[in-house]
Structure 1
Amino acid sequence: MSSSWADLPTALEGSISKLDELLANDGQLKAFTTSNAIDKPATFGIKSSGSENALLVEVTNGSAKTAVGNPQSALFTLSALPEQWEEFFKQTPVAPYQSYWGMFGMNIKQQGIEVQGDQTEFAHWTHVWRRVLELAHHAHCGPYPEDEQVQPDEDHLVGRYVYLTAPIWGRCKVFYETSGDGDQPIVFLHTAGSDGRQYHGVMNDARMRERCTMYCFDLPGHGRSFPSQSYYPGAHTNTEDSYVGCIAAFVKALGLNKPIICGASMAGQVCLAVAIRHQEVGACGTIPLQGSDYLNMERQWYDRSPYVNQSLFNPEWVYGMMSPTAPLVNKQLIWHLYSGQAYGVSYLDFYFGGWDGRSRMADIDTKSCPVFMLTGEYDWSNTPAMSQATADKIPGAKHKAMPELGHFPATENPEKFVPHLIEAIEHIQATRA
């Protein structure tokens, strides 16, 4: 079958006219391309490896249109093996084919993926080529089947501020929210470069409000929290001591009794650090989401690059880590949160190569602090296999892969995520009983 994808324009021939129609009428693409700064046409290509016949996309102020031809004059060209494009253009792609970023490799290394041409232009136009690829997918085989989501009529969260003092960061004015009146306190931690709004769906869930009293705070300098007193704009940093110290200070300030600590991505890693130092924090268990004992990744487009618009690049980079079937409004919320943070706050040095717990996993006492790891299958930065390998090093730890969820399970689809979360909570409670 993949041989039919050896020439991408030929494989898409029956849907190119539909693609042009979508390009002309798509509100998102118009929002991305309407700018007087686009003062001359910009063209990029999309093709199969080994072929010099490409789908060419010319972008002008407020519009985009396709042509077919040699990509030699394109600013850059997105290239992939025929069998990889075949997977991408299925109505519901399996991981990591839900996005070109996932196909590109990162921590799921694949041969055959290549960005040819100007790499900085590739980063400059990442929001446009991502949307064009989505529309090409939709034109060829229809939109992704979108999970249904009931829209709530009432919000149950209450927010306020508290002053915390953390190592390195010093005294900080931190925003937090709470909901629920269940017996089990649980503290949610957001991902790097985002804030606690990621957990609103979970914290409004009736099942969780009955079981738990939930808390979520924005790290200093993130979301609605103020920067630390030692902060220079663009110079946010994070270490295990500052992060764990901030969590411990929050638990102490609110007088929480044996809370569970749960967080994703960078916060999934710090959940492992909390498990190691649970007596210091006062935690009774941890639920690391999308976490592992060590993770490294080459980041060519550094998150503090002066050459790349971080408010466009950062949200695009993480957008492809989500399940393609997640409700669009939730995926757009993640995009919005990552686009709206301060310069340099999307600090990934802790997540990628900065935190290394490999030599300490066997020291975690899961009788005193049970660990239940959860990993969405669509995450290409921290795969279920990586989390399982970490869980295997922790005596008594459990791990579960979550189908139809990605890097932001609590935000992507709270309805699907909450049953996994409750299973982890009940395991921790039963283990400590």
Structure 2
Amino acid sequence: MKAKFEEIVGRYVNFEIDGIEYRVYYEEAGSGIPLLVGHTAGSDGRQYRHLLNDPDVTSKFRVIAFDLPYHGKSLPPYGVEWWTQEYNMDKKGMMDFPNIFSEVLGLERPVYMGSSMGGHLAIDLAINYPENYRATIALEGALKSAKEYRDFGVEGVRREFDHPCVSRTSTGAAMLLNMSPTSPEAAVRETQWMYMCGGPGVFAGDLYYYYVDHILSAEDVAQIDTEKCMLYLLNGEYDPNTPPADGKVVADIVKGSKFTAMKNLGHFPASENYPKFKEYILPILDEIAEKFQ
């Protein structure tokens, strides 16, 4: 039987954040400019498998897709009684992870690209750590997320996605509402599957950062210096959480940033329809490669 091997390589790395040692899983492919890619709330790095397998990208970039602690193959930290604590991801934790992860891997000013909460993070990193990144790419990023969920408050968000009556199947089904009706069903179902595999309480805990701890003002993002760290913003037209208008608000404030409205894409562009997403992201990656190679 003839087998088809992919170029993706996965491994674990152990390192500390605030005195806690984490065993983190990541996959990578390609060579060149380091490109860190961050997943959405409640999911993992599998969302980027198509990007990691694309030679048009990996010929110029060393693409590294990580699973945040508690996500995917990155188990909760051993030696910590995590089962006695409520998991919540805050802005400090979100920013600390790629900063320390990059340092541990010896990456020299990588490009960071993230989706959903990872997209919000792209903006936070450009504000707070421009010296650490050549550019950040916010997929579905904005000043803040949809207002109706913020009004629930922390406990409301947890009741929505962390309750004995809410199954992982239900959470996966809810994600169908966030994708484009034009995306291929096989890719949509695969994205849904990833959400049905998440650990208990993790999606809800991620939403603390997504809805509560990431709320920026015009004054906050006006600090971004695109000469130090270029900011790209891409928002899918079928994203009900952070639609194109929300990304454009940021771009209109940040001098030198670039905004793209992605037609026929929703909240999960890299996984729900990679061929369509490639049409939008490849020109940006080529621009970055031309600048830094």
User: Is the TM-score greater than 0.5?
Assistant: yes
Q: Which one-letter code corresponds to 2:161 in the other structure? A: D
Q: CA deviation at 1:279?
A: 4.4
Contact 2:270/2:277 (CA < 8 Å) preserved in 1? yes
1:135 maps to none
Q: In the alignment, is residue 418 of structure 1 matched against residue 275 of structure 2?
A: no
Q: CA deviation at 1:194?
A: 0.3
- Higher relative contact order structure (alpha carbons within 8 Å, sequence separation ≥ 6): 2
Q: What corresponds to 2:121 in structure 1?
A: 270
Kept in 2: contact 1:233–1:343 (CA 8 A): no
C-alpha change, 1:210 and 1:432, in structure 2 (3 Å) is: closer
Give distance in 1, aligned partners of 2:25 and 2:44: 10
TM value normalised by structure 2: 0.89
Using the aligned pairs only, state the percent identity: 31
Q: Secondary structure at the match of 1:232?
A: helix
Aligned residue for 1:399?
259
Offset at residue 277 of structure 1 (A)? 2.3
Structure 2: distance between partners of 1:240 and 1:417: 27
Segments of structure 2 that go 5 or more residues without pairing to the other structure are none
2:77 paired with 1:220: no
Alpha carbons 1:379, 1:406 under 8 Å: kept: yes
1:18-417 correspondence to structure 2 within 5 Å: 153-167=4-18, 170-181=20-31, 183-228=32-77, 229=80, 231-232=82-83, 235-279=86-130, 282-295=132-145, 296-298=147-149, 302-309=160-167, 311-346=168-203, 347-358=206-217, 359-417=219-277
Count matched residues.
Answer: 278
In structure 2, C-alpha distance between the alignment counterparts of 1:163 and 1:349, rounded to whole Å: 25
| Amino acid of the structure 2 residue aligned with 1:336 | W
Q: Distance in 1 between matches of 2:290 and 2:6?
A: 31
- The normalised TM-score by structure 1 is 0.61
How many Å apart are 1:361 and its aligned residue?
0.1
Aligned-residue RMSD, C-alpha: 2.0
TM-aligned CA distance change 1:233 to 1:209, over 3 Å: farther
Tell me the secondary structure at the aligned position of residue 271 of structure 1: helix
| CA apart distance, 1:164 | 2.5
- The 2-side partners of 1:230 and 1:269 are apart by 29
What is the CA–CA distance in structure 2 between the aligned matches of 1:387 and 1:198, rounded to whole Å? 21
Q: Which residue type is aligned with residue 426 of structure 1?
A: D
Q: Deviations over 1:135-188 (max 9, x none)?
A: xxxxxxxxxxxxxxxxx9442210000113224x8221000000012x221000
SS of match in other structure, 2:253: coil
Structure 1 residues without counterparts, runs of 5 or longer: 1-151
| Range with greater deviation from structure 2 (300-309 or 324-333) | 300-309
Deviation string for 1:179-228 (max 9, x for gaps)? 012x2210000000000000001110121111211001000000000213
1:9-35 deviation per Cα after TM superposition (whole angstroms, max 9, x unaligned): xxxxxxxxxxxxxxxxxxxxxxxxxxx
Higher gyration radius (CA): 1
Residue 413 of structure 1 deviates from its aligned partner by 1.5
- TM-fit CA distance, 1:306: 2.9
